């Protein structure tokens, strides 16, 4: 996956008026997603297929299908993995009970949990070890939230709104701590954190710099994009929390905004009267899908491609040491 660049030529303008397609910067894959995909691909290369992955490695059908074609098998429970099979935990992270279950079965595990998610896990364990009640700001049912809640042997209070904070049955002077789901930005969590700090007198939480850089960067880029576009297209899965949020931001900014899995979801009716389309992608959507959408737009009429200025991300997370040599080995 990756490596391709959007075409930058213009089609002849002897048809209808040229429509501008403006690309957000940054967009698409973040470093945690790149690392997770690399882990699966390198595991298949080193140990041979099949490699079993607990849960979708990232929330994108195209990524999952591509890895399936290479020899990955996706399951939801460790019990579905055969004895001795190479096992990968997804980028979202898993509960300690899942880690222990895999260890009890003697499964060789490669952990593709995003390092920024692992950092949240460590923060949660540290806060609880100091006797603080833990509050998690996140969305119920998201696999990352389930993994974080499963890091500690203590109750975890999940909140996603200021109303949830008001409903907490906790004393105002109780020692409180909070952590956040990484696919929520500083902007997403600000009101909830303010409500927590207003309600509790003894509360600690992570530094703002610990918030996932990729989430914040992509949301800021979309807000900038909405200032120069008439419509927003977000390439990503409906199961992707960050992709859904990018689309919500477009609507908050007053633009017709659509979340599409790929170019097949593009409806020509959306483009009627549109002079400038803003185009971005969620953190688990490959650049190939962006290119396909651009080509689909070109088939509907002349396009001028523009690139919005934005943050250049140069962050790279290393894969586990065992995968850094390329020689294929038989799985132990």
The answer to the question of whether 30 is labelled as a binding residue is yes
The answer to the question of whether 242 is labelled as a binding residue is yes
- In the chain, at which residue ranges do the beta strands (DSSP E only) sit? 19-23, 51-54, 72-75, 87-89, 109-111, 133-137, 156-159, 176-180, 203-204, 231-235, 257-260, 276-281, 303-307
The answer to the question of whether 212 is labelled as a binding residue is yes
The answer to the question of whether 59 is labelled as a binding residue is yes
- In 95-197, at which residue ranges do the beta strands (DSSP E only) sit? 109-111, 133-137, 156-159, 176-180
The answer to the question of whether 157 is labelled as a binding residue is no
The answer to the question of whether 284 is labelled as a binding residue is yes
- Collapsed DSSP state (helix, strand, coil) of residue 1: coil
In whole angstroms, what is the distance from residue 332 CA to residue 330 CA?
6
For residue 155, is it left (φ>0), alpha (ψ between -120 and 50) or beta? beta
- Which tokens sit at 270? 């959306």
The DSSP element (H or E) to which 37 belongs, if any, is helix 31-47
The answer to the question of whether 142 is labelled as a binding residue is yes
In whole angstroms, what is the distance from residue 123 CA to residue 230 CA?
41
The answer to the question of whether 243 is labelled as a binding residue is no
Beta strands 133-137 and 156-159 are parallel
The answer to the question of whether 114 is labelled as a binding residue is yes
The answer to the question of whether 86 is labelled as a binding residue is no
- Per the CB < 8 A criterion, the answer to whether 313 and 31 are in contact is yes
- Per the CB < 8 A criterion, the answer to whether 215 and 313 are in contact is no
The answer to the question of whether 90 is labelled as a binding residue is no
- Per the CB < 8 A criterion, the answer to whether 295 and 7 are in contact is yes
Residues with catalytic roles: 144
Backbone angles phi, psi at 303, to 5 degrees: -130, 140
Name every residue whose Cβ is closer than 8 Å to that of residue 266 and which is 6 or more positions away in sequence: 233, 260, 293, 296, 297
- Detail the residues annotated as belonging to a binding site for isopentenyl diphosphate: 59, 92, 142, 240-242, 284
Binding residues: 30, 59, 92, 114, 142, 182, 212, 240-242, 284
């Amino acid at each position: 996956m990756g490596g391709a660049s959007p075409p930058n030529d213009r089609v002849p303008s002897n048809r209808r008026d040229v429509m501008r397609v403006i690309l957000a910067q940054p967009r698409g894959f973040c470093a945690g997603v790149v690392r997770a995909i690399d882990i699966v691909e390198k595991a298949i290369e080193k140990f041979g297929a099949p490699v079993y992955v607990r849960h979708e490695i990232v929330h994108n059908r195209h990524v999952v299908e591509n890895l399936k074609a290479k020899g990955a098998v996706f399951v939801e429970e460790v019990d579905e993995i055969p004895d001795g099979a190479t096992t990968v935990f997804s980028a979202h992270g898993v509960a300690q009970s899942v880690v222990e279950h895999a260890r009890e079965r003697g499964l060789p595990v490669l952990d593709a949990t995003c390092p920024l998610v692992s950092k949240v896990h460590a923060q949660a364990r540290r806060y609880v070890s100091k006797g603080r009640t833990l509050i998690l700001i996140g969305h119920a049912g998201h696999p990352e939230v389930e993994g974080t809640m499963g890091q500690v042997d203590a109750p975890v209070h999940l909140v996603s709104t200021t109303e949830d904070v008001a409903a907490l049955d906790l004393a105002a002077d109780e020692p409180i701590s909070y952590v956040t789901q990484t696919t929520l930005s500083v902007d997403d969590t600000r009101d909830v954190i303010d409500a927590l700090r207003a309600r509790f007198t003894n509360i600690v939480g992570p530094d703002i710099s610990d918030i996932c850089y990729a989430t914040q960067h992509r949301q800021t880029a979309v807000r900038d994009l909405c200032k120069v576009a008439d419509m927003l297209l977000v390439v990503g899965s409906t199961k992707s929390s960050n992709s859904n949020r990018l689309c919500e931001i477009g609507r908050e900014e007053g633009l017709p905004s659509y979340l599409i899995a790929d170019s097949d979801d593009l409806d020509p009716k959306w483009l009627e009267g549109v002079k400038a389309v803003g185009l971005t992608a969620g953190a688990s959507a490959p650049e190939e899908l962006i290119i396909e959408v651009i080509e689909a737009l070109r088939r509907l009429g002349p396009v001028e491609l523009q690139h919005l200025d934005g943050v250049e991300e140069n962050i790279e997370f290393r894969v586990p040491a065992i995968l850094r040599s390329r020689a294929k080995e038989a799985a132990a």
